[in-house]
A = this chain, B = another copy of it.
Amino acid sequence: MFRDIRLIGAAFDPNSAVDALSAATPGAGGVATFTGKVRVTGGVEALELSHYEPLTLPGMEQLALQAEKRFDLLGLVIIHRVGRMNRGEPIVCVSAAAHHRRAAIDAVDFCMDHLKSAAWFWKRELRAGDWHWIEPRADDYADLARWDAK
């Protein structure tokens, strides 16, 4: 099981993490990836993510273990940016390698739903010079709840 779970304080390149995952899982039939980024358009000038050291990374590692238990994976990447980031920069990259595409896609879906509304991050956006705290959307909670029902 290849695992790359990281908090990162500076801009990162999702491709290199995904390529490393792919290279490390020669038996995989496919790799599913989601990269979330700061929108270039739409009025957000910058974004800041804060975290709490004793909880955030352990929580991500716990999430990875849950995903590995739930899906038939060969490798998993969860990289989350923290601190201040600019337009167009990646915020989060989740990538899963598996024998079959369903496990890979579902694992990415599962991890993203949990990162969005059940991981220890706090997000604020700079709009027109003012910072605004962001809370999860109702959709995010609904997305998360799907996994309890299954």
Contact = CB atoms under 8 A, between A and B. Distances in A.
Interface of A: 15, 18-19, 22, 26-37, 39-42, 88, 100-102, 104-105, 108-109, 112, 116, 139, 143
Contacts of A41: 26-27
How many monomers of this chain does the complex have?
Answer: 2
Contact of A34 (B30, B35, B139): B30
A109 to B, nearest CB: 5
A139 B30 contact: no
A23 B2 CA distance: 29
B37 A102 contact: no
Q: Which 10 A-B pairs have the closest CB atoms?
A: A26-B40, A30-B36, A27-B41, A33-B33, A15-B15, A32-B34, A26-B41, A31-B35, A105-B109, A29-B39
Contacts of A22: 35, 37
Given A34-B32, A105-B109, A112-B101, A39 B15 contact: no
B32 A33 contact: yes
A31 B37 contact: yes
A99 B109 CA distance: 16
Contact of A104 (B18, B34, B102): B34
Contacts of A104: 34
